[in-house]
Amino acid sequence: MNDSNGSPTVRIGVLGCGNVGAALINIVRTRSDAVAQRTGIRLEIARVAVRNISAPRDVEVSDEILTRDAMDLVTDPDIDLVVESIGGIEPARELILAALAHGKPVVTANKELLANVGAELYKAADDAGRDLLFEAAVAAGIPFIRVLRESLYGEPITRILGIINGTTNYILTKMTDSVDSGGDADYGAALKDAQSLGYAERDPTADVEGYDAGAKAAIIATVAFGKKVVAGDVYHQGISEITASEIAIARRLGYVVKLLGIVERDPDTDDVSVRVHPTMVPDHHPLATVRDSFNAVFVEGDYVDSALFYGRGAGGAPTASAVFGDVIDAAMNLRAGTHGSVGALGKATIKPIDETSAEYLLGLDVADQSGVLHAVTGVFAEHGVSIRVAEQEGNGPDARLVFITHEAREKDVQATVRELNGLDVVLKVGGLIRVIGS
Instruction: Output DSSP code: residue 7.
Output: P
From candidates 21, 141, 166, 318, binder to ligand HSE by CB under 6 A: 166
Instruction: Output the CA–CA distances (angstroms, integers) from residue 35 to 42, 45, 273, in the order listed.
Output: 7, 14, 41
Which residue in 216, 227, 258, 351 is the catalytic one?
A: 216
> Which residue type does 279 have?
T
Per CB under 6 A, does 167 bind ligand HSE?
Answer: yes
Residue 7 or residue 167: which is nearer to ligand HSE going by CB? 167
Give the whole-angstrom CA distance, residue 369 versus residue 344. 61
Least distance in Å: CB of 209 to ligand HSE?
Answer: 12
Least distance in Å: CB of 280 to ligand HSE?
Answer: 21
Helices and strands in the chain, H and E counts: 13, 20
- Which residue stretch of 24-32, 165-173, 175-183, 331-339 sits at the interface with ligand HSE (rule: CB under 6 A)? 165-173
Residues 179-218: x where in contact with ligand HSE by CB under 6 A, - otherwise, as a string: --------------------x-------x----x------
DSSP E strand boundaries for 178-293: 227-228, 235-236, 255-265, 272-282
Instruction: Output the CA–CA distances (angstroms, integers) from residue 53 to 58, 67, 72, 188, 287, in the order listed.
Output: 13, 7, 15, 38, 44
Least distance in Å: CB of 199 to ligand HSE?
Answer: 6
Enumerate residues 6+ apart whose C-beta is below 8 A from 417: 362, 429, 432
Residues 277-316: x where in contact with ligand HSE by CB under 6 A, - otherwise, as a string: ------------------------------------xx--
State the distance between the two ends of the chain, measured CA to CA, in whole angstroms: 55
Residues 380-409: x where in contact with ligand HSE by CB under 6 A, - otherwise, as a string: ------------------------------
Do the bridges between strand 294-301 and strand 9-15 make them parallel or antiparallel, or are there none, so unpaired? unpaired
Residue 213 or residue 330: which is nearer to ligand HSE going by CB? 213
Residue 282 or residue 316: which is nearer to ligand HSE going by CB? 316
Catalytic-residue membership of 216: yes
Instruction: Output the CA–CA distances (angstroms, integers) from residue 153 to 133, 180, 196, 304, 343, in the order listed.
Output: 15, 41, 40, 11, 10
Q: Which residues in 312-371 contact ligand HSE (CB under 6 A)?
A: 313-314
- Which residue stretch of 99-107, 128-136, 159-167, 231-239 sits at the interface with ligand HSE (rule: CB under 6 A)? 159-167
Give the whole-angstrom CA distance, residue 213 versus residue 192. 20
- Catalytic residue IDs: 216
Residues lying near ligand HSE in the complex (CB under 6 A): 165-167, 199, 207, 212, 313-314
